[in-house]
Amino acid sequence: MMKQNYKIIVSYDGTRYRGWQKQTNTGDTIQGKLEALLSRMAGEEVAVQGAGRTDAGVHALGQTANFRMDTELSDRELMDAINGFLPDDIAVLSLKRASERFHSRLSAVGKAYCYRIYTGNARPVLSRRYVWNLGRELFTERMEQAAAYLTGLHDFKSFCGNPRMKKSTVRRIDSVKVWREPGEDEVRIRFEGNGFLQNMVRIMTGTLAQCGLFERDPEEIPRILEARDRSAAGPMAPACGLTLMEVKY
């Protein structure tokens, strides 16, 4: 008999973790923590499939995952039991029974990320784990100009952190919005698209920041895309400023 397929939405502070994907040399991954807990609860090995592999230090407000398990607990009881044993920096926000065909990664049609950049002089003490402490003024108009070139269907090989990537590096970016938080020394960038390559959002952010600092012209973005060469793009922004906001189905 087929085990019940469950869809969960997970939030986590990625500061002390080595990313989403489980690793043999450490238990400090989000997937590893979830699988270890669910396997203890089920009395057998439970595999957790995530919608995407967030890097070490990256956070999530709405990571989606799924797993199969036999239990007599209701959905609410199961979610409460999981949250009761998870560490304080990981939480299951939603747990629902899903169709047999649902797969958190293969069924996804899009993702949304948000990157936060602190531009003030004083250290951002309370938000230091969740922002890139740039400490310099950014000209958001220039960043918006550059961001417009990134939208649409492009080959993003120049923005891929994996030099040995064998699969297609073509992705569709639906929108890139840049704004300054009212009354705060913080610039935010929201990226939405059908999928993202390894380190892609962080490299795009680093490149947009160069434009905002007058270190690069916004009009260079098309040339960077055409180069299909990682060295043509800007630096990779720190992991701490990035949050996976939601996965779309």
Total Cβ atoms within 10 A of residue 133: 16
Spot the catalytic one: 28, 55, 80, 88. 55
For residue 161, count CB atoms less than 10 angstroms from its CB and return exposed for 0-12, middle for 13-18, buried for 19 or more.
Answer: middle
Rg (alpha carbons) of the chain, rounded to whole number = 19
Is position 75 annotated as part of the catalytic site? no
Dihedral angle computed from the Cα positions of residues 85, 47, 198 and 138, in that order, rounded to the nearest 10 degrees: -20
How many other CB atoms are found less than 10 A from the CB of residue 151?
15
Distance CA 187, CA 131 (A): 10
Q: Which residues are catalytic?
A: 55
